[in-house]
Chain A
């Protein structure tokens, strides 16, 4: 299914002109934009696969937080970049961990817990920044993320990073115990538990990981654009869920892959940029996004009918 979407998305840009170079540039542009959505949607993929209505609504605010933290910590200094990355991953993992605790021990539904945490994170951002942010991105970040690897290969590094990232996530999901257990608890939590999977630990791990991945997304994002503002991560939240759904991952959990999410991210970025080029106001963009998601889950998200 993801392949079909990929091909579809390949057809559309070509309609903009028969010039191959223009088309190629457009594809690269879309890819470059889709990277960030793709990385942010990775954590989302994990929690959704884990089932029981897993979802991470704090991803948007975590992205904003980590972007701002990176901005402040790095402050233009190349040496601080690695430190900032570690801090940011830890921060994301911490928030994710809190999510996991609330969901596992206090039995709060993931939707409510992560939504609540999103508010807390946003509040924390305001406290930290007092409304204005001072800082700078280090040159090495722009070099590594925004620029291409070499002039002969005009693909921004971000895309290459994303491909590498995708391979890592695929390995995680398909070739590790964690991945296997993740699918197991997604399919049937009770059976998995009876087969010896430590569901509690899996939950905590999954949400912490999701938080850390969102943090990584924030890091990449600020490295690419070099600016931060309070609404930086917000526009990625809903599309991240949509990307996962479009990519073929069942919203009830237990099935899915990150490649699908990547394809979904590309399709969504395509739709958004199409709408922007058509100069549609934000209102129409939102409606189309909502409508598209609705149609897509109607096709791919139907649950079993009551009549077994």
Chain B
């Protein structure tokens, strides 16, 4: 019954799979786009990936505690429409800061609504956040019925061009997020997260404040969704109520690719971050591989399904080993 050292290692480090996938994707990308690591290209790529990375981090935390948040896309959309309409193309930096602050509050509020229904009323996360996703998406559409509006050009340019110390701005953001996460993980709350995700009932019986832990994860997810909305607004420079919609499934995919178990209790944040980057790289590959436009949607969807299936397939093989 001697488990090979390799097997023990891979079981302890679920993010390893994500790393392998990422390296593979980057390698393929280098083939189709040789100048991928050139400073300008890298910066351009990373800032496109950043919204999804932020979303994936929030999603990862919710999923860790055993839940899921389908409304993140909607929250990001609301933030986008709010910024686009309130700040507008002529806004001043002061206004921008004010509405950024308000956006974060909105994210927390939306998360609180989710958390209330799920943690306190004990509704199922999937259907609840599905319902609120419609609520939020509808609100975004209400605020901005037609794509338009925007944010001041110089602010968008700042996001686009800043490369402190020759590294993309996105790198710093990711680094900060990862730092915050490793701090969080070392606290009691971090431990609680894993306890609740693993066996909520058992956690309850050991005096873990399950309700508040779960509520907190939705607050975090809402906040991260607001950040993602901010990032995507700065990326596109304009407003569009549907902007967040495709990001929701991608955030879940990123978490699954990242090695986290959808049922909770396993994994971290580094994996999903890599997963999000991998998804972005795959998107890049598809654009550069000159695939027929008609096939593009299908190819992308199939890749996502394969990526989702991959951990399951890996598990199948693992179980077959004597």
Seen from chain A, the residues whose Cβ lies within 8 Å of a Cβ on chain B are 53, 55, 102, 105-109, 111-113, 115-117, 119-120, 122-124, 126-127, 130-131, 238, 241, 245, 251-252, 281-291, 293-294, 297-298, 301-307
Contact = CB atoms under 8 A, between A and B. Distances in A.
B131 A297 contact: yes
The 5 A-B pairs of least Cβ separation, nearest first, read A123-B298, A106-B312, A290-B134, A286-B138, A119-B301
B116 to A, nearest CB: 10
A288 B135 CA distance: 7
Nearest to B299: A123
Interface string B142-163: 1001000000000000000000
B256 A286 contact: no
Contacts, number: 148
A123 B134 contact: no
Interface of B: 68, 117, 121-124, 126-128, 130-142, 145, 200-201, 204, 210-211, 241, 249, 252-253, 256, 262-263, 294-302, 304-305, 308-309, 312-313, 315-316
A307 B201 CA distance: 9
A287 B134 contact: yes
Contact of A287 (B124, B139, B263, B309): B139
A106 B123 contact: no
Nearest to A238: B134
A107 B123 CA distance: 23
B289 to A, nearest CB: 16
Contacts of B299: 123
A126 B300 CA distance: 12
B198 to A, nearest CB: 15
A286 B142 CA distance: 10
A122 B141 contact: no
Contacts of A252: 124
B252 A112 contact: yes
Contacts of B204: 306-307
Contact of B122 (A117, A293, A305): A305
Contacts of A282: 138, 141
Contact of B312 (A107, A119, A122): A107
Contacts of B141: 281-283, 286
B297 A241 contact: no
Contacts of B139: 283, 287
Nearest to A306: B204
Contacts of B294: 126-127, 130-131
19 contacts: A53-B126, A105-B316, A109-B262, A109-B263, A119-B300, A120-B301, A123-B300, A251-B127, A283-B141, A286-B141, A287-B134, A290-B138, A294-B117, A294-B131, A297-B127, A297-B131, A301-B127, A302-B122, A306-B204
A252 to B, nearest CB: 7
B244 to A, nearest CB: 14
A245 B122 CA distance: 15
Contacts of A302: 121-123
A238 B127 CA distance: 10
Nearest to A298: B121
A186 to B, nearest CB: 14
Contacts of A124: 298
Nearest to A286: B138
B297 A105 contact: no
